[in-house]
Structure formats: C-alpha cells, structure tokens
Amino acid sequence: MDDSRVGDALRAAGRSAAPAGPPGLESTFDLVERTKAGDREALNRLFTRYLPALRRWASGRLPRWTRDLMDTDDLVQETVIRAVKRIDRFESRHEGALQAYLRQAIVNRIRDEVRRTKRSPLATALDENASDRGASPLEAAIGTEALERYEAALARLRPEEREAIVTRVEMDGSYQEVAQALGKPSADAARMAVSRALLRLAEEMTRGQA
C-alpha cells in the first residue's frame, strides 16, 4: 500500500473525526477486505473508526514514563500508518481482530522505543520522587494487584468478549462503536454483548482469587 493513500486517509480521518449523521454499521472485516482491494473510502473509514479510540486507549494503558519517548498521538498515528502499509498480510479471523492487531502494534512500537533508549540513554538525572513512574492511569486507578487479576481474567475470555470490554471500558467507546468493532447489528446488541462480557470477566476475576 503506497504512502500517498495512507496520507490521504489520515487527513480524511482527521477531518471526519465526528461522524456525520447515523452511518450504517459496516463490519471491520468488510472494510479491511475492501481496503486490501484498493478501496480508499474503506481505508478512510478504518482510520476514522480506530484512530481516536486507539489514542484514548494508549493514553490510559501505556505507562506514564513511555510518554517521555514520544508524544502519544504521534506514536499511535505512526504505528497505525506502518500497520496499514502491511494490511495486505493481515488476516481478519474475527471481528475485533484488527483492533487487537493495532493495539499490539502500538505495544511493540513502545518496546522498540524502550530498547532504543536503553542503547542510547539520555544524559538526564532521574527524578527521585517519581516512584510511580512505571504506572499507567489504569493501574493507578485500580491498583497493581487488581490490574494483574483483570489482565489474567481478560486473557481467559473469548476474543469477542475481550474486544467488547476493551472497546467499551478501556477505549471509552459508545455502544455503536462497539457494534462496529464487533460486527453487531445494532447498539442494543452491542450493549447486551458488553453486559455478558463483563459478567464473564467478573466470574473470571473472582475465580482467580480463589
């Protein structure tokens, strides 16, 4: 996929961050397949759908110290550009797979930055008072032990359940956005999916304490 198409799509996504009117719920799977076939409008819609949510997720999920490496918005945008250039090799096995793929790409990008920084450490003194430097806002909110239980329980859920929770809770997505991410026919169907997923999460977290 050439750079000009990706650049045009990013600019279009920036102009249309707020959806105009109630669009139809197109599945991500269909948009990915159309993008692979060269459909620029499908590419625009993928960026519009995922960039704002991924930025929210990165702001809440990545440890605070990683923000010293690169501005979060820049990091997310750069990572999405790289991932989309390789979208021809992406295989969408289930609804939500692209979102998970992009999140993992962001995490990998952060790890690359960490390794690069360790090889060329900055000559700056560490703040002795920065005891929570490694914590993310999510970890700070619920505590390290609870976050570990949450992570373990989340990993035991089915992919659709996991994506429903991440989209709604971590990405602060609307139920329509959840429906789009999971290929649900309506916001009400997405609401039910999220409710069931949260019940399963609570059961798994309780089981993890036993």
| pLDDT tens digit sequence for 57-88 | 887 777 666 655 567 778 888 888 888 778 77
Token code pair at residue 141:
């909110």
Task: Measure the CA–CA gap between 77 and 81, rounded to whole angstroms.
Answer: 6
pTM beyond 0.85: the answer is no
Is the pLDDT reported for residue 157 higher than 60?
yes
Locus of tokens 């997405």 = 190
pLDDT value of position 67:
59
The one-letter code for the residue type at 55 is R
Token code pair at residue 116:
């690069």
More confident residue, 83 or 118: 83
pLDDT value of position 131:
42
| pLDDT tens digit sequence for 8-39 | 555 554 444 444 334 445 777 788 888 888 88
Question: If DSSP codes are grouped into helix, strand and coil, which group holds residue 200?
Answer: helix
Locus of tokens 């090889």 = 119
Is the pLDDT reported for residue 142 higher than 90?
no
Segment 148-161 shows an average pLDDT of: 89
Residue of 86, 97, 88, 100 lying closest to 34 (CA atoms): 88
Segment 137-152 shows an average pLDDT of: 78
What angle in degrees, to the nearest 10, is found between the helix axes of 97-119 and 40-61? 60
Tell me the pLDDT band of 51, cut-offs 50, 70 and 90. confident
Residue of 4, 77, 76, 5 lying closest to 34 (CA atoms): 5
Per the CB < 8 A criterion, the answer to whether 136 and 61 are in contact is yes
**What would the DSSP string read from start to end of 128-169?**
TT-TTTT--HHHHHH-HHHHHHHHHHHHTS-HHHHHHHIIII
Task: Note the Cα 140 to chain centre separation in Å.
Answer: 19
Token code pair at residue 7:
């650049």
The one-letter code for the residue type at 76 is V
**Which run of H or E residues covers position 64?**
none
pLDDT value of position 79:
86
Tell me the pLDDT band of 3, cut-offs 50, 70 and 90. low
